[in-house]
Amino acid sequence: MAHRADGTPPDPSEIGDRISEGSLLIELLRLRDSMRLFFRPALRAHGLTDQSWRIVKVLGERGPLEMTSLGVAAAIPMASASRIVTRMARGGIVKRLPNKVARRQVLVELTEKGHRLHADVAPQIRQVYAELGERLAPDALEQLHEVVSQLNEQLAALGADVTAAPED
């Protein structure tokens, strides 16, 4: 937290004024869009969009998931996740399975093709992160990741339910 020139912490209302002047949400969106530019060539080379990669990544790391859990884990609204999974199933990347525990739900899992895709793309994405880490301030990406994770946890504790957020 930035302190005043005299070393005292700012009043909470001053923090809100400074953040709204700089438009924190706009800056976060710009950061997201800037970061995506570095990853898109690797994704496009494999016929993936940002969102379809997030689905492959989540399923590759966690295994089969129920559709709602997949949408939440991949940070994709349910309606979009459903459309993307349908498209990916047609492409043979994922498949839907009946959920033996909750019969109304469907599980989504990677096919062999999906697992190969994950194995091919994940190292390329890690390489992009490594290259960005070398070009940016030392530890900047790790610090950003840590701060964003902490803020997400704090906002969730305040009742911010991203699973219920409407699509943009």
Tell me the pTM: 0.79
φ and ψ at 65, to 5 degrees?
-135, 150
Identify whether the C-beta of residue 60 lies closer than 8 Å to the C-beta of residue 88: no
**What does the alpha-carbon distance between residue 161 and residue 45 come to, in Å, rounded to a whole number?**
34
- Written as one letter, the residue type at 48 is L
Query: What pLDDT was estimated at residue 139?
Result: 87
Q: E-strand spans in the chain?
A: 65-66, 94-98, 106-110
Query: What pLDDT was estimated at residue 10?
Result: 64
Query: What pLDDT was estimated at residue 6?
Result: 72
Query: What pLDDT was estimated at residue 15?
Result: 59
Query: What pLDDT was estimated at residue 70?
Result: 96
Spans of the chain below 70 pLDDT: 1-5, 9-22, 161-168
Query: What pLDDT was estimated at residue 50?
Result: 95
Q: Which residues contact residue 107 at a Cβ distance below 8 angstroms, ignoring those fewer than 6 apart? A: 64, 65, 66, 96, 97, 98, 99
**What does the alpha-carbon distance between residue 130 and residue 133 come to, in Å, rounded to a whole number?**
5
CA atoms within 13 A on the CB side of 88: 30
Rg (CA), the chain: 19
Query: What pLDDT was estimated at residue 22?
Result: 61
Minimal CA–CA distance to 35: which of 156, 163, 141? 141
Helix (H) or strand (E) holding 146: helix 140-157
